[in-house]
Structure 1
Amino acid sequence: MHFAVRTIATTTLLLLTGALHAQRAAITVVFDTAAKVFTESLPLGNGRMGAMMYGSTGKERIALNEISLWSGGEQDADSREAYQYLKPIQDLLLAGKNREAQALLQKHFIAKGEGSGFGSGAHVKYGCYQALGDLFIEWKDSAMPVTEYTRQLDLENAKAVTRFKRNGQQIKEELFADFVNDIIWIKLSSSGKAGIDARLSLYRKEHATVTANANQLIMQGQLPSGKEKGMRFASVVQPVIKDGKITAEGNVLHIEGASECWIKIAAATNFNWNTSQLIAPDPLAQCLHYLSATKAMQYAVAESKSAAAYQKYFNRCRWQMPANDAVSGLTTIQRLIRYNKGEQDLALPVLYFNFGRYLLISSSRPGLLPANLQGLWATEYQTPWNGDYHLNINIQMNYWLAETTNLSSLAEPLHRFTKDLVIPGEKTAKAYYNAKGWVAHVISNPWHYTSPGEGAEWGSTLTGGAWLCEHIWEHYRFTKDTAFLRTYFPVLKGAAQFLQSVLIREPKHGWLVTAPSNSPENTYITPDGFHGQTAMGPAIDMQICRELFNACIHASAILNTNSDWSKELQQLLPQLAPDQVGAAGDLNEWLDDWKDAEPQHRHVSHLYGLHPYDEISIVRTPELAKAARKTLADRGDGGTGWSKAWKINFWARLGDGDHALILLNQLLKPVTRMGIVMSGGGGTYANLFCGHPPFQIDGNFGGTAGIAEMLIQSQEHYIQLLPALPAAWSGSGSVKGLCARGGFVVDMEWKEGRVTGCKIVSHAGGECKIMVNQKLISFPTIKGQSKKISL
């Protein structure tokens, strides 16, 4: 009997240990060396402040960010005379003279002045997102060897830890971004008394000065706004020690003989979150206010409260897959390399999924700016493409995961940003199109730039703002929040009115089309050999028109408003240029069946109707779905990181989980290149950041959204469980907290590819239809209640 009890206990311990290994493998990013480059550092953030831990045992670097820190400022980039050239450009397009139309557009229908500086706007009026600076921690005994080094990011607790042994002492560096007190905390500790001896310094290479007083490092600066002075900013670093002493030496603080040291980091700018303007209050005073509020606070208390606030988001949605003991002792890069060789690691996609949700929680906070091309994290002073808001997929992809993975409230910055584009967008609509409503083109910044770009080959896409409106309508579809819809209905209406105003009738079929526009960043070849971008009625424009018009029609009915205008839209819908299948069986990207100058271009914009919109469906439009499949086959599986992420979503919508997994596996391919690569690139860096290359966060967010699409879909007016489950994941698994349109939250388990258990929570009430194991089930629900489905 005694032997049996011991056996059960041992077995239980082994099971618990195995479960713990499985859990850690899915929530921990692991290194066994310090970071040499940005894409090996560990990112932390609370939506406003960001930090990157490098983990050096000699001179530790903590790269710092503040999400509003931008050079540049408000500018008038609208060409006031541009509208005079609208009809001449349209007439040339109608006459088939695209070459002449594009030349005229490039001369008169682009941004006034320097625009975005062609993506290098740090020193022009457009500006760019910039690094705040670096905190350095220089250890006194850095020349001595270290052992037992580890560096880990815990996604479950939003905390990074570096550990190592030196000179007989265990040294630990802990870092978290405080979701409650809005500062960064670092804790340095040693196993022995008086083990902390280090020098603290703040650094920024330009536009800042650093000073030190008895117990603080203070950085203050002001960025340029073109030839003028722009945003002011400040950061304060304040150490608190146990034992030992702190002394100031010039602009450095020296910590001697401490057993423990807490380092509190505050940062602020004079950007007004409500008006998106620069204001007078002193950023330094705001930093000191943050620190004063935590004066009597213990590190452990702050850490516990911050983790609880973070976990309210993170724990809403959790995906579990079987563990593989073979990966339990590996670093993340070792797992990526192993996985790329085809070896099994079912927890690695789960880790990537968790990391994507972690990044959105850490870089998007209600009331602040939306996540940008870098999310929140950058070490550059001229970030790639200005680190701005690209409206032809990138900022939208950042938020694809928000609704499906139970982070709906974190999309608020995107919704509000869209609303704030209306007033400047109305001016741009008048200046270029003499049109009603509002427009935003391809790029934007914190000052709500809505003008075209400075190049015809990319800058005249006119549906950027309308695409943003898709997120407003989707938020309603997922939440059924009519108060939200009423607040944002004018935004939808203004975007739709603009599209109404710019539609012209093309001569071949008599369809209504947009003009002038382009299919984002892609090039066609006309029969006479012209390589161009300026066109009328590209497929993505017409799909967005249909989506937005339909959204406004439904919203008008829900809110019982604008019925006459709704009828106008209903009459326009059948006149819009439809999706067309080309001679090769693929979907046409342009109004005519023209050849692609780059057949495997990274953008696949004409499949917008497949994802994120849902007008192309294997259920409702099988012929168009077949054409979409042919298009994807022709485009191939290559491309940048975010392009691969979009393709995961495409293949999931086509119900092909195995091909979606092929793309996910490619997205998880280890990347070592840092330069800009537009084709044949893509993959994942050692810290799980997406490699465009270079780093661009939309691939992380798009990949996470794609995984969710493989597990659940709801665009067919019913919920589909496991609509694109790959064979490799079919053995067993579970997920809780995925969201579906209609206000439903789903938990489920599966085995051998079949759902074995399911629970539905209704946040809005009403009928629930669910496709599970190829069977359609329908039942009424009551708001706030749940229902278990017996299988």
Structure 2
Amino acid sequence: MKRFNHLLHLLIVIILVVFQSCSTKPVDDDKSSAHVLWYDKPATYFEESLVLGNGKMGASVFGGVESDKIYLNDITLWSGEPVDPYMNPEAYKYVPEIREALANEDYELADKLNHHLMGKYSQSYAPLGTLFLEFQHSENVENYHRELDINKAVSSTSYVLDGVNYKREYFVSYPDQIMVVKLSADTKDALNFSVKFDSQLRFSTSADENVLKVEGYAPYQAMPNYHAGDEEPIKFDENRGTHFSTYMKVESNGGNSLYTDSVLTVSGATEAVLYVSIATSFNGFDKDPAKEGLDNKAIAQRQLMEAGKKEFAEIEEAHINDYSSLMKRVHLDLGETTAPELPTDERLKRYFSGAEDKNLEVLYFQYGRYLLVASSRTEGVPANLQGLWNPHLQPPWSSNYTMNINVEENYWMAETGNLSEMHRPLLSFIGNVAKTGAVTAKTFYGVDKGWASCHNSDIWAMSNPVGGFGEGDPVWACWNMSGPWLSTHLWEHYQFTQDVDFLKNQGYPLMKGAAEFCLNWMVEDKHGNLITSPSTSPENLYITDEGYRGATLYGGTADLAMIRECFLQTIQATKVLDVDADFRKEMENALAKMYPYQIGEKGNLQEWYYDWEDADPKHRHQSHLFGLHPGNHITPGKTPKLAEACRTTLEIKGDETTGWSKGWRTNLWARLLDGNRAYKMYRELLSYVDPSGTDTQYSQGGGTYPNLFDAHPPFQIDGNFGGSAGVIEMLLQSHQNRIDLLPALPDAWPEGSVSGICARGGYEISMDWSEGELNNVTVLAKAGGSTKLVCQGKEQEIDLEKGETVTMEW
């Protein structure tokens, strides 16, 4: 029945597309369709809203007529308090028992014992509240239009009612740390509205000297949405948790403004500018936000007053200059398009039917870059599962930092997409996790050197395995390899920036700590190979030859892949810095002893130590392919048999999967140099998903909501970021001191151009191509050095000074 409904929906979409194509003029590819989302009706669901952000404050704008709703977020507003890393101080004593059970091949006992290696759940990212703009309008309007220009990070809503043109403009400024809403009417005294605030958190409102003030606080505990049986999953205490302030003030042209203790009212105006200032008491992952917190009231007041000293035009110009300077670093053109000019949701439905829309592909790519700028500019607080935008008190998976793929996928295109500054919140967060992780390594795993981190984290930089002290399932709760995975981001940042000071002072010490844990965690198998024990493969189950379905094993391929990549990169870092020769030798010796990759009877890369069956052969995770991507020690050129085994694994898994997984598979196929398969995954990532069906539905696969948010489903932002990263992987790859140009160019993109994308070694690349072949390339050396350009069988050595540019025909 589900399949019939899906086919019926697809048939209706195709009929609509044919009708619209006949009645709508095509647009040129240089028009706004590549950088503007627009709609002809207000949003009903969160997944239809237009999102804004300055890396700290977030807003989701619905654009209603009678009532305009704006969800507000602050990336530092979470439930909870600093984590106690010593929560399970004797957990490590069970490690020998688990290893003994595994040595005896008693996997059922190992699974049971693994429950002892669990700690508390993460805390949750909280919704700050909702701003309501109430108007004395009917819904009977004409020429309704709402849009978001991602080059400017400005959203707008406009319509005509009773002959009056109404318009609203919204943006969230990074330079001024303020949200601004400008409301206007083209008829004198026609603007009448009120401003109200509501929240799922505890709060109170008051009016003070023409400022509407909201004071509130988040819970000190919020259990995950999937955790059943809690009588009181959300716990509030005014003397605990993070406090927040939201201050609002309006400046109007004409008319009157009235402030009561809960409502701000403007009447008889022609134009009004609303300023919204937000601050929280969060003062770092290790500071009690109630007792050692920042003065959120003073910060909110200062931001509001400083903005009030400036003209609207000055604030807007500074905001647009800030955003456009980041967004316009990269330009992508995929050639001419015949797609008609339609609202973005209709474009998405049309594309879902199989129609061409190259500018939608460009828009989705650039939207990923936009979302990263909007959600990742706060030190130590990276973009979470939903980036910056969350309306739920118990959001899906706590909207936390899920570190077995998701938070890392958020940052795959930070460097390649020329947004290196946006990588810093994650890099500084890793330093926080390493501090609690040193305790986790000792108390959960009995390792006295280095640091460990696991499946989940939060703003308090928790690093322990989750699972509620034994009630969870080892298949997701007991994985402990996010340390080596996270450490690869430190090396990536160095490779793209060539910032030796960063590597020496911040990157390498953390990389070394992750490597030290791995060196001391691995043990020998019965053949003398180094393995991890116990091990799990993220969220997947095996079936032994005897038929047991389990999670706990030894020598999981994903573990060893991540450790290999960590060691290889840390070895390179020691050479760059000329330090720790003895430690380098330890890693080199360990690499030589590690249990090698195995190719199964089906030709697949084995996920398990033995050639066992997967409980779910089409499972969304493909963690054991880490060496292919995001790692790079498996390549078609240097390890062709392993690369082919990765290809076979992906064929077995198939293409139907969740949103973030489609993003990952886009990158994996690009690394296999199969541009057409990568493009297929990218197209499927843009499959239209109805916003009203936001429950977790792994079996139905992922896609894209009307506002271009990734549908896991429900909404997870990692698919957006993974998709954007995949576009660059199709156009540019750079490893082992070589830059491959158009390595996985799909047939669907025979002509185009790109500028501003980045390669390892500190290079910025611009190029254009036609008929599937490269025409010319320009290379800017940000750091200086030599490298090799490779494309379509031709190689070219280049040697550039810092700041030097070379252009060559190909």
TM-score of the pair, normalised by structure 2: 0.92
2:599 corresponds to which residue? 581
C-alpha contact (below 8 Å) 1:49/1:67 kept by paired residues: yes
| Alignment CA distance shift 1:689-1:345 (3 Å) | same
1:702 and 2:730 are equivalent in the alignment: no
Q: Within 5 A, what are the aligned runs for 1:357-372?
A: 357-372=369-384
1:502 corresponds to which residue? 521
1:300 corresponds to which residue? 313
Secondary structure at 1:25 match in 2: helix
Secondary structure at 1:76 match in 2: coil
1:284 and 2:297 are equivalent in the alignment: yes
Q: Within 5 A, what are the aligned runs for 1:162-311?
A: 162-213=157-208, 215-226=210-221, 229-273=240-284, 277-278=288-289, 279-311=292-324
Tell me, in whole angstroms, the C-alpha distance in 1 between the residues paired with 2:258 and 2:700: 53
Q: Within 5 A, what are the aligned runs for 1:77-156?
A: 78-106=87-115, 108-111=116-119, 115-116=120-121, 126-140=122-136, 142-143=137-138, 145-156=140-151
Q: Within 5 A, what are the aligned runs for 1:409-488?
A: 409-435=421-447, 436-454=449-467, 455=472, 456-487=474-505, 488=507
Tell me, in whole angstroms, the C-alpha distance in 2 between the residues paired with 1:675 and 1:625: 35
Q: Within 5 A, what are the aligned runs for 1:642-791?
A: 642-672=660-690, 673-730=693-750, 732-791=751-810
C-alpha contact (below 8 Å) 2:542/2:614 kept by paired residues: yes
Shift of 1:786: 0.4
C-alpha contact (below 8 Å) 1:762/1:785 kept by paired residues: yes
C-alpha contact (below 8 Å) 2:335/2:749 kept by paired residues: no
1:640 and 2:658 are equivalent in the alignment: yes
The one-letter code sitting in structure 2 at the alignment partner of 1:315 is: K
Deviations 1:364-403 (A, max 9, x none): 0152510000100011111111111011000000000101
Secondary structure at 1:729 match in 2: coil
C-alpha contact (below 8 Å) 2:246/2:300 kept by paired residues: yes
Tell me, in whole angstroms, the C-alpha distance in 2 between the residues paired with 1:250 and 1:472: 49
- Would you say how many aligned residue pairs link Structure 1 and Structure 2? 758
Shift of 1:553: 1.3
C-alpha contact (below 8 Å) 1:19/1:323 kept by paired residues: no
Secondary structure at 1:215 match in 2: coil
The more displaced of 226-235 and 589-598 is 226-235
2:7 corresponds to which residue? none
Tell me, in whole angstroms, the C-alpha distance in 2 between the residues paired with 1:725 and 1:277: 51
Shift of 1:717: 3.0
Tell me, in whole angstroms, the C-alpha distance in 2 between the residues paired with 1:52 and 1:395: 21
| Alignment CA distance shift 1:630-1:21 (3 Å) | closer
| Alignment CA distance shift 1:368-1:552 (3 Å) | closer
The one-letter code sitting in structure 1 at the alignment partner of 2:616 is: E
C-alpha contact (below 8 Å) 1:144/1:167 kept by paired residues: no
Q: 1:157 aligns with which of 147, 152, 158?
A: 152
Q: Within 5 A, what are the aligned runs for 1:520-531?
A: 520-531=538-549
Shift of 1:250: 4.6
Tell me, in whole angstroms, the C-alpha distance in 2 between the residues paired with 1:21 and 1:633: 35
C-alpha contact (below 8 Å) 1:439/1:464 kept by paired residues: yes
Secondary structure at 1:257 match in 2: strand
For the aligned residues, what is the CA RMSD?
1.5
Tell me, in whole angstroms, the C-alpha distance in 2 between the residues paired with 1:484 and 1:213: 46
C-alpha contact (below 8 Å) 1:44/1:177 kept by paired residues: yes
Deviations 1:251-290 (A, max 9, x none): 1111100100101001011001485542244312211100
1:313 corresponds to which residue? 326
1:45 and 2:53 are equivalent in the alignment: yes
Tell me, in whole angstroms, the C-alpha distance in 1 between the residues paired with 2:27 and 2:325: 23
Tell me, in whole angstroms, the C-alpha distance in 2 between the residues paired with 1:576 and 1:617: 19
Secondary structure at 1:734 match in 2: strand
The more displaced of 649-658 and 450-459 is 450-459
The one-letter code sitting in structure 2 at the alignment partner of 1:264 is: Y
Q: 1:403 aligns with which of 391, 395, 415?
A: 415
Secondary structure at 2:698 match in 1: coil
The one-letter code sitting in structure 2 at the alignment partner of 1:768 is: T
The one-letter code sitting in structure 1 at the alignment partner of 2:175 is: V
C-alpha contact (below 8 Å) 2:454/2:465 kept by paired residues: yes
1:608 and 2:626 are equivalent in the alignment: yes
C-alpha contact (below 8 Å) 1:276/1:446 kept by paired residues: no
Tell me, in whole angstroms, the C-alpha distance in 1 between the residues paired with 2:673 and 2:768: 19
1:548 corresponds to which residue? 566
Q: 1:322 aligns with which of 326, 335, 341?
A: 335
Shift of 1:773: 3.2
C-alpha contact (below 8 Å) 1:743/1:763 kept by paired residues: yes
Secondary structure at 2:537 match in 1: coil
Any gaps of 5 or more consecutive residues in structure 1?
1-16, 117-125
Secondary structure at 2:600 match in 1: coil
The one-letter code sitting in structure 1 at the alignment partner of 2:713 is: P
Deviations 1:119-175 (A, max 9, x none): xxxxxxx421011111101101x2262100000000111100101001111000100
Secondary structure at 1:757 match in 2: strand
Shift of 1:200: 0.8
C-alpha contact (below 8 Å) 1:268/1:286 kept by paired residues: yes
C-alpha contact (below 8 Å) 2:326/2:419 kept by paired residues: yes
Tell me, in whole angstroms, the C-alpha distance in 1 between the residues paired with 2:555 and 2:331: 42
C-alpha contact (below 8 Å) 2:381/2:429 kept by paired residues: yes
Secondary structure at 1:714 match in 2: strand
The one-letter code sitting in structure 1 at the alignment partner of 2:363 is: L
TM-score of the pair, normalised by structure 1: 0.94
Shift of 1:307: 0.8
Tell me, in whole angstroms, the C-alpha distance in 1 between the residues paired with 2:354 and 2:665: 20
C-alpha contact (below 8 Å) 1:513/1:537 kept by paired residues: yes
Secondary structure at 1:224 match in 2: coil
Tell me, in whole angstroms, the C-alpha distance in 2 between the residues paired with 1:394 and 1:326: 33
Tell me, in whole angstroms, the C-alpha distance in 1 between the residues paired with 2:429 and 2:204: 32
Tell me, in whole angstroms, the C-alpha distance in 1 between the residues paired with 2:380 and 2:374: 12
Tell me, in whole angstroms, the C-alpha distance in 2 between the residues paired with 1:221 and 1:283: 10
- Percent identity (aligned): 39
The one-letter code sitting in structure 1 at the alignment partner of 2:267 is: E
C-alpha contact (below 8 Å) 2:201/2:219 kept by paired residues: no
The one-letter code sitting in structure 2 at the alignment partner of 1:48 is: K
The one-letter code sitting in structure 2 at the alignment partner of 1:676 is: T
Tell me, in whole angstroms, the C-alpha distance in 1 between the residues paired with 2:207 and 2:714: 36
Secondary structure at 1:426 match in 2: helix
Tell me, in whole angstroms, the C-alpha distance in 2 between the residues paired with 1:416 and 1:692: 27
Q: 1:566 aligns with which of 584, 599, 621?
A: 584
Shift of 1:742: 0.8
The one-letter code sitting in structure 1 at the alignment partner of 2:100 is: D
Any gaps of 5 or more consecutive residues in structure 2?
1-24, 222-234
The more displaced of 548-557 and 26-35 is 548-557
The one-letter code sitting in structure 2 at the alignment partner of 1:448 is: A
C-alpha contact (below 8 Å) 1:22/1:322 kept by paired residues: no
Secondary structure at 1:720 match in 2: strand
Secondary structure at 1:199 match in 2: strand
The one-letter code sitting in structure 1 at the alignment partner of 2:455 is: V
The one-letter code sitting in structure 2 at the alignment partner of 1:647 is: R
The one-letter code sitting in structure 1 at the alignment partner of 2:65 is: T
Tell me, in whole angstroms, the C-alpha distance in 2 between the residues paired with 1:637 and 1:575: 35
Secondary structure at 1:271 match in 2: coil
